[in-house]
Copies of this chain bind each other. A is one copy, B any other.
Amino acid sequence: MSVRGPKSGSDAVTGLSHLRVTFDERFYIGPGRADILDLIDKTGSISEAAKRMGMSYKRAWNLVQELNNGFGAPLVQSSRGGPDQGALLTPAGAEVLYRYRSMQGAARTAIEADFSAIQKLRSDLS
């Protein structure tokens, strides 16, 4: 499922390429939100996470606020004082990230049979 298509010369992901899960009108999680949580966890810094995502510090900071406010409890804890201060996932943030990755894995497995059937149909017809 995660291998490249036979005709693909790019680094495009194949298989499940976007999974968004919505909890209510205030909170959802998708690949971009999961990636920023992941990078904050790995780097200990919103600023560094932003850089690796190719987004501005301000945008990453706003995204973190949206995540925390939308969830209703902090997922990311950061020191005051601006971009050079550290940040880390709270236990809730780590659990949300872990469970999102688990949902991605479960969904990948769940779609496999239909994915292969569409690939087969496509190669039979072209």
Contacts and interface: CB of A to CB of B under 8 A. Distances in A.
Interface of A: 4-10, 12-28, 30, 71-73, 92, 95-96, 99-100, 102-103, 106-107, 109-111, 114-115, 117-119, 121-122, 125-126
A111 B106 contact: yes
Contacts of A23: 5, 14, 115, 118-119, 122
A103 B110 contact: yes
A14 B5 contact: no
Secondary structure at the A interface, as helix, strand, loop or mixed, is mixed
Among A28, A72, A109, A122, residue most surrounded by chain B Cβ atoms (within 10 Å): A122
Contact of A12 (B22, B71, B111, B122): B22
